[in-house]
Structures are given as C-alpha cells and as structure tokens.
Amino acid sequence: MNTPIQNRYEFVYFFDIENGNPNGDPDAGNMPRIDPETSHGLVSDVCLKRKIRNFVEISKGIQSPYEIYIREKAILNLTHERAHQAVGTEDKGDGKKRKNLGADVEKARAWMCANFFDVRTFGAVMSTGGKLNCGQVRGPVQINFARSIDSIVPLEVSITRMAVATEKEAEHQSGDNRTMGRKHIVPYALYRAEGYISAHLAAQTGFSEDDLNLLWESLENMFEHDHSAARGKMCARRLIVFKHDSMLGNAPAHKLFDLVKAEPKDDSKPARAISDYDIFVNQDGLPAGVTLEEKI
C-alpha cells in the first residue's frame, strides 16, 4: 500500500437531480429530504458515502485492499472475527482468558484499515457487541449534508400499476387489475456538498494517494452506476478541490468554501437545468499555501 497522504484537502462538490428523488426520508413517506424552515433540499452524508462505497465495490471488486465493510447484507461481527483470525488473536477455545486485549484489538483494527477501503476512508465503529471487536476508527474523509442552492417544491405524482400481486387483490378490482400508487420527485435541483480530508487521520488509517484518487474517481462517476426509476437523472457537475501545502493546512476550511459560489442566472423563474446557474471560484482570494484543482 502507498504512503499515507501528506496534504490536507477540502472540496466542494456539486451534483443535480432532474425528475427524481435524490434521498428519500423514511420518516416522511420517502419524500425528498427538506429543510422545513427554508424549503431547501437535503441529501445526507450517509447517502453520498453509500454511493462511493458502491462505486468502489463494482470498480475494484471484493478484494483487498479495496473491500467494503459496510455493504448490503454484511454481518459485521463475522468480519470482526475474520480480522482476529487473520492476525492470530481469535479465541482459541481453550477456556483461558485472553491477555493483552487492547493490543489484540489494535492489531485487528490495523488489519481492517489495511483491507477495507471504507474503514480507512470514512472510519467505522467496529465494537458492535460481538465476541470479538476491532475498536473504532476515525476516518480522514468527512462529508457534510448536501443542500440545494435554491428552495425546492417536491411533487407527489400519481402512477398506475397494470397488475396486482395476489388473486385476492384482483377480486376486489372489479375486473380491472389497475391499482394506483404515488411517486415523489424533485423537478430539478442543484445540490452542494462540502468535504474535508485530514492528513493526520490519514496517517492513522493508511489512507493513501491511490485511495485519494479513487475517491475523486468515485465522486465523478458514482451516479453513472446508480440510475433508477426513483432517482431519475442525477449527475456530478463540479468537483473543486483545495490542496494545502502542509498536513496542518494553510487556511480555515470555511474561508475556502466561501470562495465558491453558485447563483441562479435568472431569479424570476425556477431553475430547470445546470445551464440556469453560474458556478464560479474567486481565485484572487486564494490564501498562500493553498492550490486549486478542478477534478470535474
């Protein structure tokens, strides 16, 4: 594995949705997430990390060092046992109390970081109450909730199903198998997410330059492998990266984020395409020791 990254990074990520639901809220009938005070749309950090994990899994396969810890139908405690077996700290079944438990957990934790991309990238809580645990990892990459640039008006659209699931259901349709349903969509919205990458935490987990490049590749391409009837047309639009010359960093993150603006070209009508917005970076305000990179 490559040497851990030696620079701090922040990034601003823009993506949009057209006639779809970018992140349904299960507590609100799966309607698009929304800030009730401003009506701005929200997409959770968990949702974005899920898409990154999915892209890494399909692009790299289930193999070290790019395995995915949090994946569909994974049994986490079995993975923890696998880690302890790999480093020779598992329960031998001899009835003797294990010594150096802290050292054992640290070895298993290091093995998880070395083999699982999402553990060394986002971190993980791996003390889930099983017989063996792998401690906790604080990941170097963190992403804020994404927020739409403008307020949104989610639509509830009626849809028709031409079939029914059971014979009993068909008997109650008076010879007509059509049933009605609902679908929630956002006609159009441009979202902005902000992220942080800590070189010091990367040193603890082993997050490397190869991992960093894979992260940028995931943000650029993850929506291309996530299309569905529910999500409609989702696209990555801009990825603006601030690279510091040092591990500690050369400027506060919020000052760098303030350099990036997205504004509608015409406030008199709702936006319906990326061409309705101007996205620009004030490069004149870039602090010393920070360089700008545009990945998309």
pLDDT along the chain (296 residues), means of 10: 90 96 91 95 97 96 91 89 89 54 90 96 90 91 98 87 74 64 90 98 96 97 91 93 97 97 93 96 95 94
Helix axes 101-115, 76-87, angle to 10 degrees: 110
Residue in the block written with tokens 């008006």? 153
Identify which of 141, 130, 125, 126 has the alpha carbon closest to the alpha carbon of residue 56: 141
pLDDT score for 95: 47
Chain centre to alpha carbon of residue 236: 13
pLDDT score for 91: 66
DSSP state letters, 121-188: HHEEE--SSSSS---EEE-SEEEPPEEEEEE---EEEEEEES--SSHHHHHTTTT---EEEEEEEEEE
Alpha helices in 26-129 (DSSP H): 45-60, 76-87, 101-115, 117-122
Helix axes 45-60, 209-221, angle to 10 degrees: 110
Question: How many other CB atoms are there within 10 angstroms of residue 59's CB atom?
Answer: 14
Half-sphere exposure of 285 (CA within 13 A, CB side): 13
Cβ contacts of 222 within 8 Å, gap of 6 or more: 51, 52, 54, 55, 236
Domain ranges of the chain: 9-160+183-294
CB 117 within 8 A of CB 217: no
pTM to 2 decimals? 0.90
Chain centre to alpha carbon of residue 240: 17
Under DSSP, is residue 103 helix (H, G, I), strand (E, B) or coil? Answer: helix
CB 43 within 8 A of CB 145: yes
